[in-house]
Amino acid sequence: MSVLVLLDLSAAFDTVDRATLLRRLENWVGLTGSVLNWFKTYLENRKYFVSIGNFTSEPIEITCGVPQGSILGPLLFNIYMLPLAQDWMNYCITWSSHTGGADIWINGMLGEQRHLRSGYTIQPGGEFILGKDQDGVLGLSDADAFVGKMTDVNVWDYVLNMEEIRTQMSCGRNSSIVGNVFSWGSTKLSMYGGVQLDSQYRCT
């Protein structure tokens, strides 16, 4: 088996709940009055439309997300994620060879859906690579190495359902739930580039 796990969370900007973000600005940052109202008007009353040739669709109001392509966009997203900064984030990627459907789940919530190649099978043997970004076809750069901590990485040979995804994300409380292809704590690991392994460390 040869697998490289890549995460593209650009769509996460589109899923920000604005009411929650405004509460973060008020309760976590301390904004009040006219300043808080300015951010409210900045986020609200935004619309989008599609234009192809001479055809232009009717405008539709955008009810969630933060403006992308602006300086404030990434800052507001970071503020929105503040309560999670002290906790573990759980990412689960599912892919069906039969349908080609791929889903990204973040903390037990469906984040993004894509359609990849259907009918494709992963050949046995090979390597499972963690903590590296891909540049081109199997081009791995040291500059794109993961910095941080990861734990409880597991791989199954079937697509987990929503209940199973939310059960396995409960971390140390369900440490017996492990993958049947790659099992964290059981499958032998090879470490490169200064990686440190703490066999006693688990998310809680």
For residue range 60-70, what is the model confidence (pLDDT) as tens digits?
888 888 877 77
Higher-confidence residue: 23 or 141? 23
Buried b / exposed e across 177-195, counting CB within 10 Å, b at 16+? ebbeebebeeeeeeeeeee
- Nearest Cα neighbor of 109 from 5, 4, 11 is 11
Query: Could you tell me the pLDDT band of residue 74, with boundaries at 50, 70 and 90?
Result: confident
E strand or H helix at 20: helix 18-24
Calculate the dihedral angle through the C-alpha atoms of 172, 9, 85, 19, rounding to the nearest 10 degrees.
-110
Q: What is the pLDDT of residue 199?
A: 63
Q: Is the confidence at residue 2, as pLDDT, over 50?
A: no
Average pLDDT over residues 157-166: 88
Return all residues near 55 (Cβ < 8 A) that are at least 6 apart: none
Contact 138, 126 (CB under 8 A): no
Please report which confidence band the pLDDT of residue 116 belongs to, taking 50, 70 and 90 as the band edges.
Answer: confident
Distance in angstroms (rounded) separating the CA atoms of residues 180 and 100: 21
Work out the average pLDDT over 1-18: 60
pLDDT attached to residue 200: 58
User: Rounded mean pLDDT of 23-35?
Assistant: 88
pLDDT value of position 145: 65
Lowest mean pLDDT among 39-43, 82-86, 133-137: 133-137
Lowest-confidence segment of 21-30, 95-104, 141-150, 176-185 by average pLDDT: 141-150
At residue 1, the pLDDT reads 40
Domains of the chain, start order: 18-86 (no CATH), 89-203 (2.60.120.200)
**How high does pLDDT run on average in the chain?**
77
